[in-house]
Amino acid sequence: MMGFKRRLGRFFDHQCNRTMILPMDHGVSDGLVAGLDDMPGLIRQLAETRVRGVVLHKGMALELGGLLRPDQNLVVHLSAGTKHGLPSYGKTLVCSIQEALRLGADAVSVHINIGNDLEDRMLSDLGMVVDEAHQLGLPVMAMIYARGGQIINELDPHLIAHCLRLGAEVGADLVKVPFSPEQKIFSRALKSCPVPVVVAGGPKQDDFQGFLAMIRSAMDCGAAGISIGRNIFQHPRPMEALDQLWNTISGQGCNEAGTG
């Protein structure tokens, strides 16, 4: 088995083959973000949770990566862009795969947006990252969204299906997309995708029980897990939110505390 496949396997619970990833890369795009004021404290609390991976930019990975539990995977995010940029959906690479390895990365991630005038460059970045990361034994998570001047509805189920298929076609090992409200189309897209797909959480939701119901629907469609940020770290009780999410995605026989 190739090294990047072995590393990817460490993201998944051995009993239920599901994963729970916590992205904490929002400071680059948004600046000061509620819930991420004390990132060291938050990461220390993750030791008692079923979180399998944490996404950090290289600066935070350097300072905070050592706080992760030994079996919790560090994902170094390679893409950056701010909400103030023109256009705001533009993403560019700000970290090399070699630097991610020096920081102890277990995987790298790339964010690309399709349906805009920068799509070609972002796709080129993803293709290059996949080639180089695989040569060095690192799996790649592709975060793919339909955003930009050509997009009317970012949650169009056909666009989301295109995003997840695109990630697999370009060689990503794990694809992150929003959940489609059209479950039949989403389920069909997942069945046709040869690599695992995790669901993004999107903006903070006021109705957490309704949010859990959405996640349950995604799991029923065949999603492999979740990669959710704001709906965890902006929750009044983040560790409780993580427990509820794990119970939602894992099903029976996979809910005892521990690492799986």
Residue 242 tokens read as 């993580």
Sign of CA dihedral 110, 106, 17, 39: negative
Superfamily of domain 3-246: Aldolase class I (3.20.20.70)
* Identity of the residue numbered 56: L
| DSSP state, residue 129 | H
Among 12, 105, 2, smallest CA distance to 62 is for 105
- Identify the pLDDT of residue 1: 60
Name the strand (E) or helix (H) holding 244: helix 238-250
**Catalytic hit among 13, 58, 91, 145:** 145
- Determine the distance from the C-alpha atom of residue 254 to the mean position of all C-alpha atoms in its chain, rounded to a whole number: 21
Catalytic option among 13, 91, 173, 176: 176
- pLDDT, residue 149, reads 87
| Cis geometry, peptide bond prior to residue 87 (ω within 30 degrees of 0) | yes
Find the helix or strand (DSSP H, E) in which 209 lies.
helix 208-221
Annotated active-site residue 191? The verdict is no
**pLDDT, position 253:** 46
Residue 207 annotated in active site: no
- Which pLDDT value is given to residue 254? 61
Per-residue pLDDT of the chain (260 residues; tens, 9 = 90+): 688 999 999 999 989 999 999 999 999 999 999 999 999 999 999 999 999 999 999 999 999 999 999 999 999 999 999 999 999 999 999 999 999 999 999 999 999 999 999 999 999 999 999 999 999 999 999 999 999 989 999 999 999 999 999 999 999 999 999 998 899 999 999 999 999 999 999 999 999 999 999 999 999 999 999 999 999 999 999 999 999 999 999 974 465 444 44
Return d(Cα 69, Cα 67) in angstroms, integer: 7
- Cα-flanking dihedrals φ and ψ of residue 28, to 5°? -70, -45
Catalytic residue among 13, 25, 106, 173: 25
Establish whether 25 is a catalytic residue. Answer: yes
Q: Domain locations in the chain? A: 3-246
Phi, psi at 11, each rounded to 5°: -80, -15
